[in-house]
Amino acid sequence: MSNKTTLRELMGDLPFTAEIDWMLRSRNRPRKDHFNLDRLQNSLPVARAVVEPFTKNAKRGKKVLFFATLHYWIEQSAYLGLTLAGLGHKVTLLTLPYSEWHKQKDNFTQRQRILHTRDALSALSPLIEHASLLDLKPDSALPNILQADVKEISLWDVQYTLMREEVDMNNAGDRALYDLRIQRNTFAAKAAFEYLQSNKPDVVLIPNGLILEMGIFFRVARYLNIDAVTYEFNDQREQIWLAQNSSIMKQDTDYIVNARCHLPMTEAMFERLADLENARRGARVWGKSKRLWQYVSSQGAQETRKLLNLDDRPVVMLAANVLGDSLTLGRDIFASSMTEWITKTVQYFAKWTDVQMVIRVHPGERLVPQAKSMGTVVREALPELPNHIHVIGALDKINTYDLIEIADVGLAYTTTVGLETAMNGRPVISCGETHYRGRGFTLDPNTWDEYYATLEKVLADIPAHQLDEKQTEFAWNYAYRFFFEYPRPFPWRLMNFWDDLEIWPLERVLSEEGLAQFKDTFDFLVNEPFTWKNKL
């Protein structure tokens, strides 16, 4: 530990040192801390002035508590909070001014972050009330259910941070990170427990709602039977995913299935979905996204067979997710982890030489090189890879959609490749708690015995398990609803927030034009019922 760090630790334990330093020295200096809200602070006085006239004419809305942590969520939440205030809602923004969820910061730095956040958000007053979670001194004992939630979420936090599922409590690094997350999540749970009971909001609005303090805040709200809305973002600009009374990362689509999937698809809907699939197959961006889902365009089924040296035996494709992705955490059904599922599956197929297995490592692994590769998992399970098992790495120049075309059977945990394989009429065994499981076009074992029995039954007669026309059509219908109706219109994505704000400034968002596009979404964000106007 450096002398500077030691000094800040000592100063952080002395009353008023951080506050005096802030007032006399640090407030007006350029911030070198990663937790930096200077741009937000400079912009908010004008933003508040824009919104004030709208608040005077708005009908009285709900009492909304908005919880946000990490500087980028706080930036966006300030503007979203102003928008909701402009629509008549009474908004309180409760912040947790952390920048590093996986590192312990000295008290001096943390106290100054509280002061910096307070200064940055002061211009929200009187339209929005601001409070800091770190100003609270909770002393309540947590109910057993919430204590269990703290442990579960803290484990997920470690997996998410380390990008691997194995957490070794005998390893000093793993244990230290877990203990830090327990400490922080316990504090957040206690603070939320007391704050929510004292303030009784109509609805709590929380980003993500699965991991970190965002996850535990959601759990506490639901334990207290307070409505909670969670949200996240997909790859498209001007879109948001949101969920009412569930974590958006669980992707609960029951409501959209019940409301929409019984409706027939039009030719235009089929063409739109086919255009999306063709863009992915062709390694092209689509819509308002800059994301490439594949890094090499389709080479065709026959060429891909040659590249992989596949023969005429049936092909089973296992599509993997990226380890540590919050879309995979807590999705286990009969396996304790995706790693265990892949390990046991490839060991099973090592003895099944009548078929060929292709394991598609998620191309997204190239974006998170610190994550443990699923290719490594396979090689740990099978140090000597049999000739009939092929691993396609994240960097390999193979297109996943060629593999879907080749595959006779698909195996999936939570990846949408399972859904897209079913759209191709192939039998898919769904092994994780994914949003398309149980919709009638996948095979859904609940135990290891059921899984192995399903594998044997399907492999014994693959043609008999091909999806019929009705199942395939429903897979297309569901996919359309998931890709095009599940996301809702929204002006500002998280990581492109300031760029999007230039396109959609507050005055435009609150104008007749903006409300025509986004008003329904803002209503859903405060837990108004979903509607489907202007939808086919």
Which stretches of 163-294 are DSSP H helices?
A: 172-199, 212-223, 254-260, 267-281
Beta bridge partners of 356: 315
Q: What residue has token string 């994914």? A: 434
Tell me whether strands 356-360 and 409-412 are parallel, antiparallel or unpaired.
unpaired
Question: Residue 292 corresponds to which tokens in the numbers above?
Answer: 């490439």
Express the helix, strand and coil content of the chain in percent, nearest 5 each.
Answer: 50, 10, 40
Compute CA distances 122 → 28, 37, 128, whole Å. Answer: 16, 12, 9
What local confidence, expressed as pLDDT, does residue 353 receive?
A: 93
pTM above 0.75, yes or no: yes
What local confidence, expressed as pLDDT, does residue 21 receive?
A: 64
The domains located in the chain, with CATH, are: 3-138+201-253+500-525 (no CATH), 263-485 (3.40.50.12580)
Instruction: Catalogue the E-assigned strands of 369-471.
Output: 389-392, 409-412, 428-430
CB 138 within 8 A of CB 190: yes
Classify each residue of 158-188 as buried b or exposed e, where b means 16 or more C-beta atoms within 10 Å of its C-beta: bbbbbbbbebeeeeeebeebbebbbebbbbb
**What H or E segment, with its residue span, contains residue 227?**
strand 227-232
Question: Residue 285 corresponds to which tokens in the numbers above?
Answer: 């961006």
Q: Which residues of the chain have pLDDT under 70?
A: 1-22, 24-26, 324, 533-536
Tell me whether strands 239-244 and 488-489 are parallel, antiparallel or unpaired.
antiparallel
| Pairwise CA distance, residues 519 & 517, whole Å | 6
Question: Residue 92 corresponds to which tokens in the numbers above?
Answer: 């309180």
Question: Residue 344 corresponds to which tokens in the numbers above?
Answer: 């046991």
Question: CA nearest 291: which of 273, 276, 271, 301?
Answer: 276
Beta bridge partners of 63: 90
Q: Is 271 helix (H, G, I), strand (E, B) or coil?
A: helix
What local confidence, expressed as pLDDT, does residue 327 receive?
A: 78
Q: Cα–Cα–Cα angle for 309, 315, 316, nearest 5°?
A: 125
What local confidence, expressed as pLDDT, does residue 43 receive?
A: 97
Task: Count CB neighbours of 55 within 10 A.
Answer: 16
Tens of pLDDT, residues 228-259? 999 999 989 999 999 999 999 999 999 999 99
What local confidence, expressed as pLDDT, does residue 7 receive?
A: 52
| Pairwise CA distance, residues 195 & 461, whole Å | 58
Q: Is 69 helix (H, G, I), strand (E, B) or coil?
A: strand
| Pairwise CA distance, residues 404 & 415, whole Å | 13
| Pairwise CA distance, residues 497 & 514, whole Å | 17
Q: Determine the longest span between alpha carbons in the chain, in angstroms.
A: 78
